[in-house]
Structure 1
């Protein structure tokens, strides 16, 4: 039996990324890390969970978030130690407006991944976005820093944007440019 995620085209991955990560720019973290089984055959549980995840993604793509969450719940039951299941369910929960539930799943994805790999990178970015929405700027910045260290270009951009010195410099530069354009000294 083949891994169904191997049959997803780059375009499909891009579409799925836009659904589950609408705040991220095109092309940032998309694929799930399978390095824990890079040269090993995936367990039956993980293969079944991946199939359920794909069904959950299709449901979300069709706008059926309730069915999507159900599919991800089943995936978690099949492979409770596979971080991807929690990451995907967190995205569906976030789309449903359940940020608290999403944060629980993102914490679990980070714990199960050991804080490394694509699963952790995605979880850190998504957790940072939620924390930022909640006004927890320092926590968000820490998560963006972790995701940036794991390779997320979007997180790197956010780290720069959230730097208070950079913000002050940008504000001062904007004022200087405005004065130059308007002829003020």
Structure 2
């Protein structure tokens, strides 16, 4: 039987580029109950903020990143202590090329969520990805480790990919499997 770590290693070997973009499909393997961080907000304001975020997501999906940022900003203005809109706006800012603004929003989302729950996990993974793309592997590793402790399979995969020994083993194993799948016919 495979452990989750074994599964992450095998997935990284056979699907080396698959993890990117798979954040939304991240399973929650954390056995603890997710805290209900939204219950502290007035129901009417929460519903309005969630509707603004949904409009922002739709705008981003249709390619209107500027409108998406505007909707997420409105949601933040409405409930400035709610981390979800900061996560969403960070993604839109990153798409618009504002990496600095995205990192500021992710820092705020981690702070507000106290690095806990879905919002904390998503902010840590997003921030880890940006830090990794900027070449700051040590800080990225820290964020991925925290997100992995919160149950993020994607973060676990990124930790495997950041391990230089695992990367070497992955490359050697991938080459071996490729040779087995495509044997050299001249040796026959």
Q: Please state which band the TM-score falls in when normalised by the shorter chain.
A: 0.7 to 0.9
Question: What is the CA-CA distance between 1:169 and the residue it aligns to?
Answer: 2.8
What stretches of structure 1 of length at least 5 have no aligned partner? 1-20
Relative to structure 1, the CA distance from residue 165 to residue 62 in structure 2 (aligned partners, 3 Å threshold; closer, same or farther) is same
Runs of at least 4 residues off by over 4 Å: 171-182
| CA distance in 1: counterparts of 2:44 and 2:75, whole angstroms | 12
* TM norm structure 2: 0.74
Q: Is the 8 A contact 1:29 1:122 kept in 2?
A: no
| CA distance in 1: counterparts of 2:41 and 2:93, whole angstroms | 30
* TM norm structure 1: 0.75
Q: How big is the alpha-carbon RMSD for the aligned residues of Structure 1 and Structure 2? A: 2.9
Corresponding pairs, count = 161
Question: What is the CA-CA distance between 1:174 and the residue it aligns to?
Answer: 5.6
| 1:28 counterpart residue number | 26
| CA distance in 2: counterparts of 1:109 and 1:66, whole angstroms | 20
| CA distance in 2: counterparts of 1:54 and 1:178, whole angstroms | 43
What stretches of structure 2 of length at least 5 have no aligned partner? 1-18, 29-33
Whether 1:139 aligns to 2:139 is yes
